[in-house]
Amino acid sequence: MSAIFAGGALIYNARQLKLLRNQQDRNEALARKRATVDMVVHENSNSEFQICKKKFAMLRDRRTDFAQFACGDLSEHAEMNDIILPVLNNYEFMAAGIRTGAFDAEIYKRMQKSTVIRDWHHLSGYVNQIRLKEQRQALFIEFEIVAKEWEREPPNGAP
């Protein structure tokens, strides 16, 4: 009789553990979604960053060669680098959060996929110049990895 009771208790405990794990997984997913939304809200409410983004977008849309601003001493092109580097740093932060699981990749991808890919194409020459100059091949690597992964994925709704 005690073996039946012990077996029942074991099954009950295993079921409770599974329910707790499921709840923890749901809580973690919700926390990632909240963190992603909070990051985007913060990004959109930061007036200094919004100015950088607008200036960057104007330059990007004019097909500016950003790589030229990474050559030589960065202070020679301080005004341009003060626009480019905050944008790059923001992408790197978001990409690192996505890759570590701190942010929800699907939410950010739905909102920003085409922009991330487009901006990587425009900034990759700049990043490569900085990497060469600084001899630091890992600079902005998270941004590059996310942009390239998303670029390889089929468009939404495609098989």
Domain count along the chain? 1
pLDDT of residue 126: 97
Task: Decide if pLDDT at 159 tops 60.
Answer: no
Q: HSE (CB half, 13 Å, CA atoms) of 92? A: 13
> Rounded mean pLDDT of 22-28?
72
- 39-60: buried (b, 16+ CB within 10 Å) or exposed (e) per residue? bbeeeeeeeebeebbebbeebb
Q: Is residue 1 part of a domain?
A: no
pLDDT of residue 82: 94
Q: Is residue 20 part of a domain?
A: no
pLDDT of residue 158: 59
Q: Is residue 131 part of a domain?
A: yes
Parent domain of 77: 31-152
Q: Is residue 3 part of a domain?
A: no
Span 84-128, pLDDT tens digits: 999 999 999 999 999 998 888 998 999 899 999 999 999 999 999
Question: pLDDT-derived band of residue 22, with 50, 70 and 90 as boundaries?
Answer: confident
Span 45-75, pLDDT tens digits: 788 989 999 999 999 999 999 999 998 888 8
Q: Is residue 79 part of a domain?
A: yes
Q: Is residue 14 part of a domain?
A: no
| pTM listed for this prediction | 0.78
Q: Is residue 132 part of a domain?
A: yes
Q: Is residue 9 part of a domain?
A: no
